[in-house]
Amino acid sequence: MDTQGAKKRLCGKWRVLCHFALFTCFLDAVWGQLRYSIPEELEHGAFVGNIAEDLGLDLDKLSARRFRIVSGAKKQYVEVNLENGVLFVNERIDREELCDQSLSCSFHLQVVIENPLELYRVEMEILDVNDNSPSFPWTEFNLDISESAAPGSRFPLESAQDLDVGSNSLRTYLLSVNEHFLLDIQTRSDGSKFAELVLQNPLDREQQSAHQMVLTAVDGGAPERSGTAQIDITVLDANDNAPVFDQSFYRVRLDENAPKGTVVIKLNATDLDEGLNADITYSFSGHAPIKVRQLFSVDSRTGEIKVKGVIDYEKARMHEIYVQAKDKGPSAVAVHCKVLVNVLDKNDNLPEVILTSVSTPVQEDAPPGTVIAVISVMDKDSGENGNVDCEIPHQVPFQLHSSFKNYYTLVTCDFLDRETVAEYNITLTARDMGSPPLFTRKTVLVQVSDVNDNAPRFKQPSYTVYLTENNAPGASICSVTALDPDSGQNAYLSYAILEGDIQGMPVSTYVSINSDNGNIYALRSFDHELLKNFQITVQAQDAGFPPLNSNVSVEIFILDQNDNAPVIVSPLPQNGTAPGAAVPRSADAGYLITKINAMDADAGQNSRLFYQMLQATDQSLFSIALYTGEIRTIRQLTEKDPTRHRLVILVKDNGQPPLTATVSIILSVVDSLPASKPDLGDLSLSPHHSSNFTLYLIVSLGATSFTFLVAIIVLVAVRRLKGRPGGCCYCCCCCSRSETATTTEVFKKSNLNVRMSAGASGCAETQSNGALPQVYCYKMCLTPESSKSDFMFLKPCSPIMSVQQNNARSTDYLTSGWSTLDHKKLSNNRAATPNEVQPASQKLPSFTNYSKIQLAILFLMAQRLQLHLCSSQQHQCAHQY
């Protein structure tokens, strides 16, 4: 201890203190200083030192001399035991409370002893104890880090605080193990530590959207203390791609006195993202000085850098503009580029372009050389800087002709086509001869007017329309559309149907068209059985002058509907009674009794017929084939079975909904079938016809010879009158109905087909169509040169007679009477053969050729035979009914 120095300092202080109290006292000042070092946080009564011994004082006189300690602190941390002179802790000492974060911590005491007065200074040094753990401001830290953050990115962390000092203070940080981050510990200038979180591996929010780590702060005490905080990192699904400039450094040149708004450069940054993440905004970066911001502006949307102030070459020859691009996505990262602007001390005035005359619009058929505009240019500069040259782009059909200095004419150099380009924005560039040259651009709008040079064109080369029959008159069938690339009246189209015939009737009676929109309407209800398809031609014509037009064909197909019920062809009722058939009692199972033949005038599936047995006297005895209509026995007949059976057969088509017809058949069980023999009486439907047939044969034999004789005489006479060889053809047409001629009924029943041929020049033929009513047409051709002039009855030369279909809702032919069939409807079904229609006992007997000819001639005479002379070998026969 430096006792003498301490005494001198204490004496000096004491003189000041006792100057007013002890003027006459002799002051025996003894200087001395003690220093004690104790750790903090000692309990009350803890031993500090024996201050009496350290000062060399008599213990017995401590009380008498009023030994006391004067402390300058607010608290009396230590006290002295006057009995033994021991200095002890009176109150717990907290170094952090007393000295905060100071590296050294101490406080001073004054020891006062009277009689004589002595002053001593005692310094109490408080040593730090590691009684405080490092602590963080928060127990949890939340960090939002974009998944696009690059490895090496740093994220500062909140520092921990440790109230201890020295080796007991914060020593380091520790981070829990993870695969993405590591901890980088930095040291400040004052020696304190702080930590930064460094991204080691890229983050991927789709794999792991959050990370949790524990940050531990450790001090250097013994034992060491630590504090922890949890770090919660949220990975943001933000911009994965930052904008990229096509260059990081741009160099441009700018003339002085460039007008405000002049585009210095248009920056282009691209972003591979989309949406807001690709919507880029441009702005000055933080490095851009204020002077640059006053002279230039950056368009945040387009990236154009424009002149904002006055550019003066004498003030600044170069400007550095720092621009950043940043997208609008979350956690956006800005990228930067530098634009170096060199100011040129050159031409100060831009050329001026003046349009003195503009002729627009111009017709598209205007010839090359047509003047569009007269243009004058001027430049306030002089010399080479005042000489101006004008130009326009080469890809436009226009040229600039210089008439004299500074005057130009804009003319066409090619034919125009309004349908290709309706208007032209011609950019006129006027450039002076300065160095560098200045230029001005001006846009001339030239509109092209239309000429009717395009005919209408239909969208399709042809149209095919499918229309279901029985449509409502006035219904829309289809719509045709044509396009005309012209405009105005030249593109206004009207539609019309060209004249034509459909089955001998004008097409205008079948369909109509809306002239404005091309909608085609049906004027009547179509019947598939009468008209299956037809074709019309539609014309589209514009309103130009002269008008142009084009045609298109429309093929209309009438689709079938199930609107015709099946018709029973055979067997048919006879004399108002149900048809019958005989079944031998000895018939085995599967014996064919008869066959039901039906027809359906519809087409396709609508005409497909199915046969079912509605009623039967004995269901176990007879069956009918579903598709053929054959009625067969199921088992062998027995003596107990009735001798008379009544079957009701249902015929149903395959339409939706199906239509039906029924027929009743009487089956008679007989012991044996009668032998087949010729019976001409079976050809008729009444006894009267049968009784008169013999008379018809006798009369026909007598009339045959007379007919041949008259025919030959007439033919020979005609040939001689003409004076040259030739032939004469007679066509006999005879029309009959089933209910008007008895003789006709005979031949209808007979299925007669008589044909006789005597050579190529003469023929005769007749044909019946089974049990159906039939219009017959016969042709007789005679040749005078032939000594064996024969004739033959031919097949009808017109289609089969149209017969009215019976009411489709009729369910029983027993009461419906005779029904007739439409010839067109019959054509869609297979007609029954004579063997299918007539039993074997009803077939005609065999006749000689001569008897057949006689019988045919008789039939012709009975029907008021008409003889027609034909002018050629090809002749047609007309019939009426």
Count of structural domains, the chain: 7
3-class secondary-structure state, position 645: strand
250 and 211 within one domain:
no
C-alpha 177/C-alpha 796 separation (Å) is: 109
Domain assignment of residue 810, yes or no: no
3-class secondary-structure state, position 686: coil
838 and 698 within one domain:
yes
Per-residue pLDDT, 877: 32
The phi and psi torsions of 168 (rounded to 5 degrees) equal -85, -5
Per-residue pLDDT, 694: 58
Domain assignment of residue 132, yes or no: no
Using the 3D structure, point to which of 185, 219, 236 is the last residue of a domain. 236
552 and 426 within one domain:
no
Whether residue 328 contacts residue 300, with contact meaning beta carbons closer than 8 Å, is answered with no
pTM: 0.39
Using the 3D structure, point to which of 543, 559, 575 is the last residue of a domain. 559
Domain assignment of residue 156, yes or no: yes
110 and 82 within one domain:
yes
Per-residue pLDDT, 245: 92
Whether residue 522 contacts residue 467, with contact meaning beta carbons closer than 8 Å, is answered with yes
Whether residue 143 contacts residue 56, with contact meaning beta carbons closer than 8 Å, is answered with no
529 and 513 within one domain:
yes
**Which residues, in sequence order, are bridge partners of residue 354?**
376
Task: Give the dihedral sign, CA 338/344/347/349.
Answer: positive
Per-residue pLDDT, 378: 85
Question: Could you tell me the CATH number of the domain that includes residue 47?
Answer: 2.60.40.60
C-alpha 633/C-alpha 260 separation (Å) is: 112
Using the 3D structure, point to which of 426, 449, 472 is the last residue of a domain. 449
pLDDT tens-place string over residues 238-255: 667 788 999 989 999 998
pLDDT tens-place string over residues 735-785: 333 333 333 333 333 333 333 333 333 333 333 333 333 333 333 333 333
C-alpha 804/C-alpha 72 separation (Å) is: 141
Per-residue pLDDT, 479: 92
3-class secondary-structure state, position 693: helix
321 and 265 within one domain:
yes
694 and 793 within one domain:
yes
Question: What are the C-alpha distances in Å from 747 to residues 739, 816, 867?
Answer: 13, 23, 21
170 and 23 within one domain:
no
Domain assignment of residue 192, yes or no: yes
89 and 144 within one domain:
no
158 and 213 within one domain:
yes
- Write the burial class of residue 846 (CB in 10 Å: 0-12 exposed, 13-18 middle, 19+ buried): exposed
Per-residue pLDDT, 761: 33
339 and 203 within one domain:
no
Per-residue pLDDT, 833: 34
Task: Please tell me what DSSP assigns to residue 423.
Answer: E
Domain assignment of residue 824, yes or no: no
595: nearest Cα among 843, 842, 841, 834? 834
Burial 800-838 (b: 16+ CB within 10 A, else e): bbbbebbebebbebbebeebbbbbbbbebbebbebebbb
Domain assignment of residue 817, yes or no: no
Question: For residue 603, what are the domain limits?
Answer: 567-673
326 and 211 within one domain:
no
C-alpha 200/C-alpha 132 separation (Å) is: 33
Domain assignment of residue 826, yes or no: no
Q: Which residues of the chain fall below pLDDT 70?
A: 1-32, 72-73, 237-239, 314, 345, 381-383, 674-698, 701, 719-881
Per-residue pLDDT, 29: 35
Q: Which amino acid is at 442?
A: K
